[in-house]
Amino acid sequence: MLAVLIVLATVALVIWRPLGIGPARAATLGAVVALLLGVVHVSDLPTLWNATWNATLSLVGLIVLSLLLDAAGLFRWAALHVARWGGGSGRRLLALLVVFSAVVAALFANDGGVLILTPIVLELAALLNLNRAATLTVALAVGFVVDAASLPLTVSNLTNIIAADAFKLGFGAYAGVMLPVDLAVVLACLGTLLLAYGRTLPRRYDLAALPEPASAVKSWGVFRTGWLVTPLLLAGAFLAEQFGLPLSAVVGACALIVWIVAARSGNVGSRAVLKSAPWNVVAFSLAMYTVVYGLRGAGVTGAYGAWLSGWAAHGTLSAVLASGLSVAALSAGLNNLPALLTAILGIQGSGVSGHAQQALAFGSLVGADIGPKLTPIGSLATLLWLHVLKGRGLSVSWGEYLRAGLVLTPPVLLVGLLALWLRLG
């Protein structure tokens, strides 16, 4: 019971941030309490570090890389092209923004995607003179899709990397399962957004209001290097497993190449990017895993794992739905990181192996990536999105977000889980 209370109190601190306490400090406080009360032991820390260091350093590297490319103007350049490809049609623009957001999330992770694309899409809405309803629709499309469609690659979400490391899922094997699932999710996102919010968009917008895409580029050297490094990142991530290299080494090398070019160009604040990088995510992930690890000793994860194992015995569909829906509910109510970590510990301790374990693991990931969108507290990316919107003068109440989450999340989650079932056979 004590372990459960510590988890709930820690999550509450992370979400509500009393006295301005950041997520990393809140999670660290919870971890310290867990250690002091003996819920988790100091001897467990090496195990916890081994489970999180690669994922968190990979995420930091991806965000540094995306911030450098953003400072060089690459994403604004791409967004202006997307707006031009829309041809003046509001609905076509929404469809292209959904695809654009999904691609950015796939390559540069959901957290980096929401930090970069949200300001850009708000600037685009201002250029096109969209009203509040239309502006909120395009912003919601970006904020929803960068999380929900962050399934295809291990690099697309911190949760993906943690799960891939936990279950020894290689980059190629992971992508082979999740790429088609993500495609179905993107289509579901697009269809649901158009049905629910398509009427808020203008039938036509003025293409003449858009500046030339080239005007957004601040450093052509970094811009071109970004186009060269991105395929290298994917190839390196695929080859890394063949040579036993951690994903963080590949991501770090790619980020370093772009940073060196940025530092030499003088047009991109390379030092400022390093200072603004979310280094505290390393402490946050380790601390949160420490807090959740206490549930293992309390028997919570064991009971959850046994429950999942029972459903897995009934076949792939039961395994996918049980893990996906339960993790989605936990993610929406608590936060997706502790929800997924709880599932990982439960599955690992359940004794389930082979195809059944794979179904539970991938089902949990679908739930952890899509389920959080049901509520404002489900993921840090959603909290960041709301914070960016408020800073740009577009306040979204929790009630307003909940209504959107209830409309968008259930159908997209169901499509994702059914697509996973079909993929796993």
DSSP assigned state of 86: T
- In angstroms, rounded to a whole number, what is the distance separating the alpha carbons of residues 378 and 372? 4
Structure tokens at 144: 């929803």
**What is the domain range of residue 130?**
2-424
For residue 149, give the H/E element and its range: none
Count: domains in the chain: 1
Please report the pLDDT score of residue 280 as a whole number. Answer: 81
Structure tokens at 139: 């912003």
Structure tokens at 376: 């404002």
- In angstroms, rounded to a whole number, what is the distance separating the alpha carbons of residues 7 and 297? 13
Tens of pLDDT along the chain (425 residues)? 798 999 899 988 888 888 788 888 988 999 999 999 999 999 999 988 988 899 899 989 999 999 999 999 999 999 999 999 999 999 999 999 999 999 999 999 998 899 899 999 999 999 999 999 999 999 999 999 999 999 999 999 999 999 999 999 999 999 999 999 999 999 999 999 999 999 999 999 999 999 999 999 999 999 999 999 999 999 999 998 888 899 999 999 999 999 999 999 878 888 888 888 778 888 888 888 899 889 888 899 999 999 999 999 999 999 999 999 999 999 998 889 899 999 999 999 999 999 999 999 999 999 999 999 999 888 888 988 988 898 888 889 889 999 999 999 999 999 999 999 999 98
- In the Cβ-directed half-sphere of 354, how many Cα atoms lie within 13 Å? 5
Please choose, from the candidates 110, 200, 194, the residue with its C-alpha nearest in 3D space to the C-alpha of residue 152: 110
- In angstroms, rounded to a whole number, what is the distance separating the alpha carbons of residues 171 and 155? 9
**DSSP string for 330-386:** HHHHT-HHHHHHHHHHHHHHHT--HHHHHHHHHHHHHHHHHGGGGSTTS-HHHHHHH
> Which 3 state secondary structure label does DSSP give 398?
helix
Q: Give this prediction's pTM.
A: 0.92
